[in-house]
């Protein structure tokens, strides 16, 4: 009878995936328990749900991020949660993109958006940061805004005078999280389409 140690040896000796990483999928947020469940961490929440759907855990530390090497619809991708804090997210993205020699068009970013209500998702092929500082830093680090992104509505400030930082670092309510659950499911489907080269289909079906 094989011992548990034999099983561990078989797992450890499992050959690495020989195919190259073709995509980076980056969820934006701030690391640490202090920021869990905040509006600014919607990207972290979405990519965690994506990882769960794939049976993966985003825990390998590299490129100044927590990562998981996965396959989505036959495409090898690296899931990333930058640990640089939001405003420097591009540093982790650039390090991974440089290592795998990936152009900006192969970097898919999941992030919060304060222009839309919870439960709303927008997919964009490229474009400006729209005030999202993590996206802005990725544009600066990659020298391009030509990367697709999935923007997740987290609601608008309750009044114009409220400080934006206070708003995005506030926690999502249980009701908002419940509303966003269906969006997280759509993210999984949209990512699969985008990696399959069908971003127009993803935009038509899931940008609402």
Q: How many CB atoms lie under 10 A from the CB of residue 81?
A: 25
Q: Is residue 86 part of a domain?
A: yes
Q: Is residue 98 part of a domain?
A: yes
Q: 68-121: per-residue pLDDT in tens?
A: 999 999 999 999 999 999 999 999 999 999 999 999 999 999 999 999 999 999
Q: 151-191: per-residue pLDDT in tens?
A: 999 999 988 889 999 999 999 999 999 999 989 999 999 99
The tokens 């680090």 sit on which residue?
Answer: 141
Domain that residue 181 falls in: 18-206
Q: Is residue 5 part of a domain?
A: no
Span 9-28, average pLDDT = 75
Burial of 91 (C-beta count, 10 Å sphere; 0-12/13-18/19+): middle
Burial of 122 (C-beta count, 10 Å sphere; 0-12/13-18/19+): middle
Residue 44 CA to residue 184 CA, distance in Å, equals 11
Catalytic position from the list 39, 40, 49, 124 = 40
In the predicted model, is pLDDT for residue 14 greater than 70? no
3-state secondary structure 31-68: CCHHHCCEHHHHHHHHHHHHHHHCCCCCCEEECCEEEE
Residue 40: active-site member: yes
Span 49-76, average pLDDT = 96
Residue 71 CA to residue 54 CA, distance in Å, equals 8
Say how many domains are in the chain. Answer: 1
Res 182: pLDDT: 87
In the predicted model, is pLDDT for residue 208 greater than 80? no
In the predicted model, is pLDDT for residue 124 greater than 90? yes
Q: Is residue 22 part of a domain?
A: yes
Here the CATH number for the domain that contains residue 80 is 3.40.50.1470
Q: Is residue 8 part of a domain?
A: no
CA triple 32-51-77, angle to 5 deg: 110
Q: Is residue 3 part of a domain?
A: no
Res 13: pLDDT: 44
Residue 30 CA to residue 84 CA, distance in Å, equals 8
Q: Is residue 6 part of a domain?
A: no
C-beta of residue 47 within 8 angstroms of C-beta of residue 28: no
Burial of 138 (C-beta count, 10 Å sphere; 0-12/13-18/19+): buried
Average of per-residue pLDDT values in the chain? 92
pTM score, whole prediction: 0.90
Res 8: pLDDT: 45
Res 11: pLDDT: 43
Identify the CA nearest to 145 among candidates 153, 156, 137.
137
Q: Is residue 111 part of a domain?
A: yes
């Amino acid at each position: 009878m094989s011992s548990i140690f034999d099983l561990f040896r078989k797992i450890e000796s499992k050959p690495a995936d020989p195919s190259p990483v073709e995509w980076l999928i980056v969820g934006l947020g701030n690391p640490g328990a202090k920021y869990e469940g905040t509006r600014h961490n919607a990207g972290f929440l979405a990519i965690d749900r994506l990882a769960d759907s794939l049976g993966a855990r985003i825990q390998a530390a590299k490129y100044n991020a927590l990562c998981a090497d996965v396959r989505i619809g036959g495409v090898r991708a690296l899931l990333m949660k930058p640990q640089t804090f939001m405003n420097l997210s591009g540093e982790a993205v650039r390090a991974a993109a440089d290592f795998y020699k990936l152009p900006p068009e192969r970097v898919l970013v999941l992030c919060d958006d304060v222009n839309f209500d919870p439960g709303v998702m927008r997919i964009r092929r490229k474009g400006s940061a729209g005030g999202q500082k993590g996206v802005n830093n990725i544009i600066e680090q990659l020298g391009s805004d030509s990367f697709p992104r999935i923007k997740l509505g987290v609601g608008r400030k309750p009044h114009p005078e409220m400080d934006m930082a206070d708003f995005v670092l506030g926690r999502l309510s249980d009701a908002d999280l419940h509303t966003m659950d269906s969006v997280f499911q759509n993210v999984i489907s949209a990512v699969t389409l985008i990696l399959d080269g069908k971003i127009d289909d993803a935009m038509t079906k899931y940008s609402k």
